[in-house]
């Protein structure tokens, strides 16, 4: 069990395969803000809504020197279909072995119709150009979240 990710701490480093066939290393993104949003599953209503809203605001995030990365435990193939369906303008990363989800402490016990399972709790982490955590959003409600993250980003970059 990892300690909670807190503002002001260095963000845990990772390397994951991306939806475009590349590999993304957090350490290589120094010099820009990084929006990491962890979501449960491709093609589910909340995740589709959240990803679509981040996509709609993508140019504004770019204008604020930020890169958006979506992370779930889905496969690269699943991510590619999801991106194609939504015309998503940013990369989705596959954490199929849950290493990064564990590192960022987003795996939580969920209870669905009396059946317990471990799943990804919708969480977003904003990381500054030096690699430190600026803000963490836990138990995110998908609708409107991308706008809230953008507002927080703009408040620290303006």
Query: Which are the catalytic amino acids?
Result: 47
Reduce the DSSP state of residue 84 to 3 states and report it.
helix
Which uninterrupted H or E stretch holds 105? none
Cα separation, 55 vs 147, whole angstroms: 11
Q: Which of 73, 79, 35, 28 is nearest to 54 (CA)?
A: 35
- Contact status, residue 11 vs residue 103, Cβ threshold 8 Å: no
Q: What does the DSSP assignment read for 12-33?
A: PP-EEEBTTS-EEEGGGGTTSE
- 38/13 Cα distance (integer angstroms): 15
């Amino acid at each position: 069990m990892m300690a909670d990710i807190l503002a002001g701490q260095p963000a845990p480093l990772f390397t994951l395969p991306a939806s475009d066939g590349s590999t993304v290393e957090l350490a290589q993104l120094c010099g820009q803000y990084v929006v990491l949003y962890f979501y449960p599953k491709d093609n589910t209503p909340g995740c589709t809504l959240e990803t679509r809203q981040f996509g709609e605001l993508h140019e504004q995030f770019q204008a604020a020197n930020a890169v958006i990365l979506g992370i779930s435990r889905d496969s690269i193939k699943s991510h590619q279909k999801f991106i194609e369906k939504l015309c998503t303008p940013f990369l989705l990363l596959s954490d199929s072995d849950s290493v990064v989800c564990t590192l960022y402490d987003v795996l939580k016990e969920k209870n669905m119709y009396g059946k317990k399972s471990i799943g990804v709790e919708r969480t977003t982490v904003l990381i500054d150009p030096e690699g430190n955590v600026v803000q963490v959003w836990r138990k995110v409600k998908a609708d409107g979240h991308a706008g809230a993250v953008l507002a927080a980003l703009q408040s620290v970059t303006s």
